[in-house]
Copies of this chain bind each other. A is one copy, B any other.
């Protein structure tokens, strides 16, 4: 097996990324623990806050996550009263989401904890370095990746055939 053929000591970009995500995830989770929120929930609440009563699809797109996954993830937050949903006025298919006042308060509380973790992290790797890393990750996330081979034959056909 030649060099290019095997993941060397984890040459797999995906495996490396997940490993780092697990590691950093635990750190942020620990930091946010006092608030009772997980890092993912914090991120989700924040995304909702900065958007204007976003539709579920909009959130899913922004976070590059499956729509149904978003629905699942949202449930505990709705159950705990941090978030509420309501139908769009013009398109009844669309369900919009917003923070409740309780959710806003919880987010504010978590934000303080988040700041500590974030600063701790940036202190370790350097603010500039961290910014570069985030930029690189955003670039990766927004890549237009698609398998060129068989699997997507359908899609290709759709593009090439009338």
Contacts and interface: CB of A to CB of B under 8 A. Distances in A.
A11 interface: yes
Contacts of A34: 150-151
Interface of A: 4-7, 9-25, 27-28, 30-31, 33-34, 39-40, 42-43, 46, 50, 63-65, 111, 114-118, 120-122, 124-125, 129-130, 133-134, 136-143, 145-151
A65 to B, nearest CB: 5
A143 B39 CA distance: 18
Contact of A149 (B23, B27, B116, B147): B116
Interface of A is mostly: helix
A27 B141 contact: no
A34 B151 CA distance: 8
Given A10-B134, A17-B17, A141 B24 contact: yes
Contacts of A140: 20, 23-24, 125, 133
A65 B43 CA distance: 21
Contact of A138 (B16, B21, B40, B111): B16
A148 B31 CA distance: 10
Contact of A137 (B17, B120, B146): B17
A66 to B, nearest CB: 8
